[in-house]
Amino acid sequence: MTRTPHRVIGACVAMAVLMQSVVVRAVSAQERLIGTRTVGAAASFETITFGGDGLLQSAFAGLDTTRVQNVSQLTMPVTASTPLGNGWRVDVTTLFASGRVTFNDSIGGSTSSASLTGISDVRARATGKLFRESVLMTVGVNAPTGRMSLNSDQFAALRMLASPALGMGSSPVGAGLSGTMGLVLAQQVGPWALAYGTSYEMRGQYQPVAALTAGTPSTDFLPGGVFRASVSADRLIGPHRLNVSLAGDIFADDRLRGGALVDSLGAATESRVRLGPVLSTDAQLQLATSRLRDLVLFTSYRWRAPYARDGITVERSSGQYLEGGVRMVLPWQRDRDIIVTTDARWHSGLGVDQGLPTAGVTSGSIALALQLSRGLLSFQPFVRAQGGELRQRAAIIPTGNQRFLGVGGGLVIVNRF
């Protein structure tokens, strides 16, 4: 995972999801947090503009063909964390988001817009230690407070805002009642601190984002469960610290209904979709230096296997995702640091349709943040710029690569008491 200040907001929203990065340091960090309460809030705004005549999209917002000119979103996450007895903690997160997409009818030339605004689901996580503190357990519940239905304009906006290629963060669409349970076992083996993790997620009954990124022809997508296994290793190399983690996700059958799925009489039918396994690896090297407060090199790679529909593998449905970057913390004054982060991304995309949710991307970004501390209160204003090029793997309608530029900024506030 990249560590840009823009994504600090995402981290602020998801502080409770400890099972997503089963790192040994999470166990030691838990020790330091015992007895503290944390409240965090953030606000960010980002806008992305597409070059030339805009990004060509078919069957978009009720039109046969459109060209998207601009995408923007305001995101305001809130999170709270408090300790319980016997080393347990509870974290609660939610967010408000408002996004807007501006596009032109490629035939008539008229300009229109689509928007999506609302509050996301409320997520609660309880995390604690078992068996003489050698096992970390996480139990989570997702309360269905987000949007559970979308009209055509809202769905059109979601197609843009939730696209992995743009990386604009979370949307206010809910997932329905769902939950997760996981365990992490820590062990010391020579110079290595190891953590073995396993978890199971019961996904909710409304997953339009999952359907979009899978390239399925319908958003009536009822997901099955997800099993995850992971291992991470952490050690010192001289004065430096290295962390490496591996994870694999295995999916149960999903049910796909409606949309383009009809029988010979025109009635909606149901199809079974089995997403292929997802394998991922992350590495982070923290370099010791006397001139910087912190210097971290990070990279991640994810491979998504092809998925099958009704037992038949869908062609060009596999994908690869590679990201990497550098994060530096420069001391400025007492209680003031400058954070500089630069990263690069390459996503192969999926070759199952021409939409933005399955597009590949080559992009880079740079972010600047000012870290201000006043006792237990922390402020982090930031700005971020990104640029890159989108491409489609599907060959039904040949399209050229599409360039884009984005700028954004915001503020993160965290109070510990």
Dist CA 284 CA 300 (whole Å): 9
Which tokens is 221 given?
């997508």
Radius of gyration of the chain (CA): 22
Dist CA 302 CA 323 (whole Å): 9
Question: Residue written as tokens 């290295």?
Answer: 242
Backbone angles phi, psi at 26, to 5 degrees: -65, -30
pLDDT band, residue 171 (cuts 50/70/90): confident
> C-alpha dihedral over 249, 250, 252, 254, to 10 degrees?
50
pLDDT of residue 257: 66
Cβ atoms of 295 and 328 closer than 8 Å: yes
Dist CA 10 CA 362 (whole Å): 21
pLDDT of residue 347: 94
pLDDT in tens, 334-348: 889 999 999 999 999
pLDDT of residue 394: 66
Start-to-end Cα distance in the chain:
29
pLDDT of residue 220: 66
Q: Is the pLDDT of residue 3 over 50?
A: no
Range from 108-122, 196-210, 216-230, 315-329 that averages highest in pLDDT: 315-329
Distances (CA, A) of 60 to 6, 214, 293: 28, 17, 48
Which tokens is 83 given?
């300790």
Task: Select the more confidently predicted residue: 310 or 185.
Answer: 185
pLDDT of residue 169: 74
Q: Is the pLDDT of residue 260 over 60?
A: no
Query: Which domain, by its residues, includes 337?
Result: 5-416
pLDDT band, residue 44 (cuts 50/70/90): very high
Task: Select the more confidently predicted residue: 21 or 142.
Answer: 142
Which tokens is 46 given?
């980002």
pLDDT of residue 395: 54
Dist CA 268 CA 278 (whole Å): 30
Let me know if 188 is exposed, middle or buried by CB neighbors in 10 A (0-12, 13-18, 19+). exposed
Dist CA 122 CA 105 (whole Å): 37
Contacts of 333 by beta carbon, 8 Å cutoff, 6+ apart: none
How many structural domains compose the chain?
A: 1
Mean pLDDT for 360-367 is: 96
pLDDT of residue 11: 37
**Helices (H) and strands (E) in the chain — how many of each?**
4, 23
Let me know if 112 is exposed, middle or buried by CB neighbors in 10 A (0-12, 13-18, 19+). middle
Nearest to 301 by CA among 319, 274, 327: 319
Dist CA 12 CA 38 (whole Å): 11
CATH number (domain holding residue 178): 2.40.160
Backbone angles phi, psi at 137, to 5 degrees: -115, 140
pLDDT in tens, 73-102: 999 999 999 998 778 999 999 999 999 999
Neighbouring C-beta atoms of residue 10, cutoff 10 Å: 19
Q: In sequence order, what are the beta bridge partners of 220?
A: 257
Q: In sequence order, what are the beta bridge partners of 117?
A: 98
